[in-house]
Amino acid sequence: MARYSTIHRLADIAQDQWGLVTRRQAERTGLSPATLQRLASQSALERVAQGVYHLAGAPTPDHIELRAAWLQLAPDVLAWNRTPAQGVVSHRSAATLYGLGHLPADRHEFTLPGRRQSRRLDVRLHHRRVADDEWISLRGLPVTLPSRIAADLLRDREDPEAVAHVVADAIRGVYDYPGSFAKTLAPHAAKFGLRRNDGLALLSWLLDLVGDPETREWTAEARETIDRAAEPKGSNSTATRVQSA
């Protein structure tokens, strides 16, 4: 009966964390380290990473190693209570989660606002702020939007053609929009010999690298978005009032 109660407490946590639970989360429910160790030795829990376990019988989630690494960033905090300040999946890891491009995600990459370090050689932490409009929840994980992914990859000096494949795949799959890419890529334009802050030119150049047949349409859409954003607020309504008069 006691063992059933223990498993039930763990299941209450794991059911909304893809079958995963951290040691710290388990201990906060009153479970002792010795109990956790016993459950692991009895195969009721499977160790996925240091301090992270998968509950036996629960479906194995996709990208389980990435999920476990994300849980390690704030092991006390339940997944549904976390904010971007506790880590957002980014860079190559984010591209892989969307299925964009072909860059291998040989490390788990996360972006946090504060300075942090990880002892894991297969985890890379980036220290930058992620704005509220630069990420979404994807498969239960906070993940940067493709336009932010592309900008981050260029900032890290990734191969431009590889980044271009990420951009083209994202637009084609409607994971993000041409105008968003033009806006987010703008600070990197000068690095490639383009006019300073000309995100539209950089977007067009990247798409030309991969020879995407829809480059012209996507560039036109991005230009329309930029032009609309540049219009003074209320300009259309003002024009209508003048014509009416």
Residue 92 placed within a domain: yes
- Alpha-carbon span 177 to 171, nearest angstrom: 6
- Examine the domain organization and report whether 165 and 50 are in the same domain: no
**The pLDDT value given to residue 4:** 54
- Examine the domain organization and report whether 91 and 209 are in the same domain: yes
**The pLDDT value given to residue 235:** 52
- Alpha-carbon span 199 to 180, nearest angstrom: 10
**The pLDDT value given to residue 242:** 31
- Alpha-carbon span 147 to 144, nearest angstrom: 8
- Examine the domain organization and report whether 143 and 222 are in the same domain: yes
Give the residue from 161, 222, 157, 163 showing the smallest Cα distance to 191: 157
Residue 69 placed within a domain: no
pTM over 0.85: yes
- pLDDT (tens digit, 0 to 9) for every residue of the chain, 245 residues total? 345 577 888 989 999 999 999 999 999 888 888 888 899 888 889 999 999 999 998 999 999 999 999 999 999 999 999 999 999 999 999 999 999 999 999 999 999 998 888 889 999 999 999 999 999 999 999 999 999 999 999 999 999 999 999 999 999 999 999 999 999 999 999 999 999 999 999 999 999 999 989 999 999 999 999 999 888 876 554 333 233 32
**The pLDDT value given to residue 207:** 96
Q: Rounded to the nearest 5 degrees, what angle is found at the Cα of 82, between the Cα atoms of 81 and 85?
A: 150
Residue 165 placed within a domain: yes
Residue 78 placed within a domain: no
Domain of 97 in residue numbering reads as 83-230
Domain count, the chain: 2
